[in-house]
Chain A
């Protein structure tokens, strides 16, 4: 076993796919709007105008990174709201059926089910299976109003070739709105290209170094959408409620920095991930990689550790100061068999051996060495029991 550099009490955070630490630059940009510049951007006086200026500048910044016009950015209270607005908002505006693959985040999956929509099987890599999607669209011919396909999967990290999805939709359900949940992808991928075919794009700030509780839905001009929240008509009547100016400013700052650092951060994460996987394969053994690394987000490493229940693994890793994830957590905090792994065709018992280690910009070489050693020690203990 490689010598561990673990210092007692040190925390190794490898759950960056769940959430990321707030970047200091974002915090700094936010602070004035949590203190002296407290205005409501909808007002007509100088205090309001200060807030309005910050909101407008943030909107320009977000639009620039995402490749849309400022008027197409609708700020929301995070990714789940953006996903719900996309699915339910289009169905409310157009009627018809919502369609999504089975490996979508619950924010899309449950919204589609709530709207009485259709869930389509995925391929073994959790990405959209064009044939199954085409068959479903044919079956629903003329009735499909919105197809939702995530830009990158939050659990296993698979990046979806959205252009392929868009081509299937254009051929089989012309005129249907295409939504992409880019919450997991936004910190790593250039959405100007990846999400270019989408009419609606969901992004959340906290996955990329911004604060929790803020995000946006890009609504391309001409996309039919009814609001979920009615009130003062903010966000061009698409999302009422006084904007979270500080949150939006933090979001824009983090998103811009992530875009600027994208290439370098991606290379760095890939190198750390390769090292981590190498250590796991040598020290832990019987580790199955869920998605080929070249198809996954740079920071994502999702594996199944043979003979080790994820729920027990997490407890031992937590004891060792290593923060990781075992799949989708339910409201109570229990680990449930992941719907993503099940959609990929992984048997339930094996799905319960999932371990997701997700690298972020603060992750170091020492982190991955310690994490691998901790997983090895935990696996030895669990396999002996």
Chain B
């Protein structure tokens, strides 16, 4: 096959390209320039492009740089800002996979005559009689199926995830054996367009403005103030200036940005038995109403037993701190590595 490998300049995509070559594919590398602004943590700095290019040179494959900064701003950064401004908890990596890596980039690859794209994600695409399955990566600690749950059959038919069968230490071992300069490069962390020095507050402050808010208890009695209501996340405990009269820890249980108000409550007030999913997206057909599923609310959190019915996930045991905007990803209760898809907590 002719495969266009998305090379971020990290070790996983470097090894992905090497593995595809070993398997006899015709490989070309491409690095996506996604973020036009300052970055120190992410995957589109000039230094990372240099790493990707040097690995491609070492492997003897062509390498291109594609600038998708406008699409990234429109589909990832702007919604991220809007979600925070609405007091919700967005996951920009999911939107990037949905709109950039497996849409814009995939379409670019197909129009250029490639048969498939590959990335260094830790997840697996399995081919069955029924179609394509999205499965957790072999390294459960590094599994990225959560952020890939937006992939459907049409996309999975064109996607290769070569390192999904490997543990991370094996990926690094292979990179070192090949002498790739990225072998010991640290994993990327956090949101790529937010600098470690400025953090979310500097970024959101510049893009949307931050506003102080009252912190109140569930009865509406004032407890304190926060500097930036847009930065408060459901379940957050620190920085709320709310030691509380009872001496028990208090958590943000409701964030009302327009009302400039954060409601705090006890740990138990964070429990939610069920949640409605907006913008659902399925790997194949949606799960049947009333079926048992495993539902996961963060990239590396546990997937817990729940029931799926009428667009709603109802957990057997209530869940703590399911924030609006967070992705809820469903897995097959009888085949826990198989991702079914998911949606956004309302």
Contacts and interface: CB of A to CB of B under 8 A. Distances in A.
Interface of A: 311-312, 315-316, 318, 330-336, 348, 381-382, 384-385
Interface of B: 31, 33, 44, 46, 49, 53, 62, 64-67, 69-70, 107-108, 110-113
A334 B31 CA distance: 9
Contact of A316 (B33, B62, B112): B112
B5 to A, nearest CB: 14
Contact of B112 (A312, A330, A335, A348): A312
A311 B105 CA distance: 12
**Most B CB within 10 A of own CB, among A315, A348, A381, A382:** A315
A332 B33 contact: yes
A381 B111 contact: yes
B126 to A, nearest CB: 28
A61 B64 CA distance: 41
Given A332-B31, A332-B49, A334-B33, A311 B111 contact: no
Given A312-B112, A381-B113, A334 B107 contact: no
Nearest 5 Cβ contacts at the A-B interface: A385-B111, A334-B67, A334-B33, A333-B65, A332-B49
A385 B33 contact: no
Contacts of B31: 332
B101 to A, nearest CB: 16
B65 A382 contact: no
18 contacts: A311-B67, A312-B111, A312-B112, A316-B112, A330-B33, A331-B46, A332-B44, A332-B65, A333-B49, A333-B53, A334-B66, A334-B67, A348-B70, A381-B111, A381-B113, A382-B111, A384-B111, A385-B110
A384 B111 CA distance: 8
Contacts of A330: 33, 67
Nearest to B112: A315
A318 B111 CA distance: 15
B67 A336 contact: yes
Contacts of A332: 31, 33, 44, 46, 49, 65
A116 B62 CA distance: 41
A315 B53 CA distance: 15
Contacts of A336: 67, 69
B46 A315 contact: no
Nearest to A383: B111
Nearest to A314: B64
Contacts of B113: 316, 381
Contact of B107 (A311, A331, A335, A385): A385
Contacts of A385: 107, 110-111
A327 to B, nearest CB: 10
Contacts of B33: 330, 332, 334
Contacts of A311: 64, 66-67
A91 to B, nearest CB: 27
B30 to A, nearest CB: 9
A385 B110 CA distance: 8
A312 B46 contact: no
Nearest to A316: B112
Given A332-B31, A381-B113, A315 B64 contact: yes
Residue of B46, B67, B107, B108 with most chain A CB atoms under a 10 A cut-off: B67
B65 to A, nearest CB: 4
B311 to A, nearest CB: 35
Contacts of B111: 312, 381-382, 384-385
A335 B33 CA distance: 9
A281 to B, nearest CB: 23
Contacts of B70: 348
Contacts of B67: 311, 330, 334-336
Name which of A331, A334, A336 has the most chain B CB atoms within 10 A of its CB. Answer: A334
A312 B111 CA distance: 8
A331 B31 CA distance: 13
A315 B67 CA distance: 13
Contacts of A334: 33, 49, 65-67
A317 to B, nearest CB: 11
A42 to B, nearest CB: 37
A380 B62 CA distance: 23
Nearest to A349: B70
A67 to B, nearest CB: 40
A330 B65 CA distance: 10
Contacts of A318: 62
A312 B65 contact: no
Q: Which of B62, B108, B111 has the most CB of A within 10 A?
A: B111
Contacts of B49: 332-334
Contacts of A333: 49, 53, 64-65
Interface centre among A332, A336, A385 (most CB of B within 10 A): A332
A305 to B, nearest CB: 14
Contacts of A348: 70
Contacts of A315: 64, 112
